[in-house]
Structure 1
Amino acid sequence: MLPVGKVPPEKLRDVVFKHLGVRGERVLIKSGIGIDASAIDFGDSVLVASTDPITGAEKHIGFYAVNINANDVATFGAKPKWFLVSVLLPENADEKLLKEIMSDIDKSAKSLDIAVIGGHTEVTPGLKKPIVVGTMLGEVKKEKLVHAGNAKPGDAIILTKGAGIEGTAIIASEREDELVGVFGKEFVERAKAFLWKISVVKEALIANEIGVNAMHDPTEGGIANGLHEMADASGLGFEVHYERIPIAEETRKICEYFNLDPLSLISSGALLIAAPKENADEIVAALKKENLAASVIGEFLGDKKKRIIIRDGAEKELKQPLSDELWKVV
């Protein structure tokens, strides 16, 4: 039986990636382990396309759909421009729910200067809550195209914002009453507001202009899974320092309360960047100038079997999560 959440990498390799039709003569990059978008040659420019469903949240699901898909496109260095969306509603849905979802999609798209150009809407038998599936298209000059599988040995690993951003917002919303009773209303409102931090479009485009080798937004499985996905895609290992990974107070306390690992909690809003060491300080400074927190948390290694985290001076293997911590509580 498959676990809840993303299909494990070995099953993707053995089943999914063996059934992908023809290669496509203009396809520069196809989706793969850690590769969340595809790139198609259009001469001087490249069309970048990504698709993702929103299944773990109900509130603000339209906002998530636009931003999560925009993030995947931006990690290729591309500006997100066009969005297609399929809205699947449960059988008990009413017009109010549909209007809320579409209003969220509209506002989110406008905030990123994105056109919603098509999609599908239906009431779907068997669903307990809505699911929104988005496809984002973006564009980048060919010479500025990057992807998660191009990290190099010795590259600095830069993390923006911190761990568990999206998971913090989802849990605070879905378990609000319980958490208010434990931590108080003000704390929970701060945690819910993490929702508005999940876009990485701005930081991805800034970093790409300075010069990076690879970028990846860690979604399901959090920072830990994101590091493994970049390493798998690039054929590398990594070394990171736990104390350098920012974990907000709200994230830390919620994870302690539910006994969750913040490094394995869905982390949309964070961006992992692999950059030549000579560019790392400039990237961090440029992001901080735009009030975007960023830290160098480690480096990529040539030995693909060496994937370690250093905590309190001790090295240990950073294992790849089998499932996101979010599924334990929502």
Structure 2
Amino acid sequence: MLPPGKVPPEKLEELVFTHLGKKDGRVIIGPGPGIDAAAIDFGSSVLVASTDPITGAGKGIGFYAVHVNANDVATFGAVPRWFLVTVLLPEGSDEGLLGMIMGEIHESAEKLGITVVGGHTEVTPALGRPVVVGTMLGEVEKGKLVTSNGARPGDAIVVTKWAGLEGTSIIASERAEELERSFGREFVERAASFIGMISVVEDALTAVEAGVHAMHDPTEGGLANGLHEMADSAGLGFRVHADRIPIREETLRICEFYNLNPLALISSGMLMVATPPERAGKLVEALESRGIKASIIGEFVEEGDIRVIVEKGKEKPLERPESDELWKVV
């Protein structure tokens, strides 16, 4: 039986990547482990396309749909431009719910300069809660395309913002009453407000200008899964340091309350970057000059079987999460 969340990489290799239709020479980057978008040759430019569903959120589901898909496109160095969306509603939904979701999509897309160009809406007995599936398209000049599998041995791993931002926001919104009894309303409202930091479009486009080898947006499975995905796609290993990983106090307290691992909590809002070690300091400076927190947390290594986290001077394996910690709560 498959666990909740992303399908495990070995099952993708067996059941998905072996069934991809006709080969096309214009496809620069197609499906693969740890690859969140496709890149297609359009002459002088490259079309970058990504699709992602939002299944674990109620409030803000339209907001998440736009930003999560825009993030994936931006990690390829492309500017997100066009959005298609499928909105699936459970039986008994009223017009107000559809209007709310579309209002969130419109507001989020307009803020990022994105046009909604199509999609589908449907009420279906197959669901118990709304599901929104987005497809984002963007463009980048051929010479500026960044691939998610481009990390090299020795590259520094730089991250922006904090781990677990999206998961913290969702849990604070979905379990507000319960959390308020333990932490107070101000704490819960502050944690829920992390939704406002979910975009990495500016992070990614700033990083591209500073010079990078690869970028990735850690979604389901959080930072831990994101590290494995980047390593998978490049055939590398990694070493990261626990005391360098930025995590907000609100995330730590909520994770402790529900016995969750913050490193395996959905982390849209954090950008992961592989960059030559000699450029890492300047990359951090470039990001922080835009008001974007940035941290160097470790490095990629040539040995693919070395995937460790250093805690109190001792290395231990950083396990790949079987599913996102969010599913234990919502």
Residue 116 of structure 1 aligns to a residue in which SS? strand
Query: Which residue of 1 is the match for residue 324 of structure 2?
Result: 324
Does residue 121 of structure 1 match 2:121?
yes
Does residue 188 of structure 1 match 2:151?
no
Written as runs of structure 1 = structure 2, the 5 A alignment for 1:269-280 is 269-280=269-280
Query: Which residue of 2 is the match for residue 226 of structure 1?
Result: 226
Give the C-alpha shift of residue 242 in structure 1: 0.4
CA distance in 1, matches of 2:289, 2:322: 37
CA distance in 2, matches of 1:115, 1:279: 35
CA distance in 1, matches of 2:326, 2:153: 32
CA distance in 2, matches of 1:147, 1:186: 41
Query: Which residue of 1 is the match for residue 311 of structure 2?
Result: 311
Query: Which residue of 2 is the match for residue 212 of structure 1?
Result: 212
Residue 149 of structure 2 aligns to a residue in which SS? helix
Give the C-alpha shift of residue 217 in structure 1: 0.4
CA distance in 2, matches of 1:52, 1:326: 17
CA distance in 2, matches of 1:254, 1:13: 35
Q: 1:92-118, CA deviations, whole angstroms, 9 ceiling, x for partnerless residues?
A: 100000000000000000010000000
Amino acid paired to 1:194: F
Q: 1:40-60, CA deviations, whole angstroms, 9 ceiling, x for partnerless residues?
A: 001121000000000000111
Give the C-alpha shift of residue 279 in structure 1: 1.4
Written as runs of structure 1 = structure 2, the 5 A alignment for 1:47-196 is 47-196=47-196
Amino acid paired to 1:176: A
CA distance in 1, matches of 2:78, 2:281: 23
Unaligned runs of 5+ in 1: none
CA distance in 2, matches of 1:131, 1:220: 16
TM-score normalised by the chain length of structure 2: 0.99
Residue 15 of structure 1 aligns to a residue in which SS? helix
Give the C-alpha shift of residue 124 in structure 1: 1.2
Unaligned runs of 5+ in 2: none
Runs of 4+ in 1 over 2 A off after TM superposition: none
Residue 194 of structure 1 aligns to a residue in which SS? helix
Amino acid paired to 2:183: F
CA distance in 2, matches of 1:27, 1:131: 29
CA distance in 2, matches of 1:91, 1:147: 41
TM-score normalised by the chain length of structure 1: 0.99
Query: Which residue of 2 is the match for residue 297 of structure 1?
Result: 297
Give the C-alpha shift of residue 31 in structure 1: 2.0
CA distance in 1, matches of 2:304, 2:168: 31
Q: 1:150-200, CA deviations, whole angstroms, 9 ceiling, x for partnerless residues?
A: 100000000100110000000001100000000000000000000111100
Amino acid paired to 1:34: G
Q: 1:5-63, CA deviations, whole angstroms, 9 ceiling, x for partnerless residues?
A: 11111100000111010121210000211000000001121000000000000111000
Identity of aligned residues (%): 65
Written as runs of structure 1 = structure 2, the 5 A alignment for 1:21-32 is 21-32=21-32
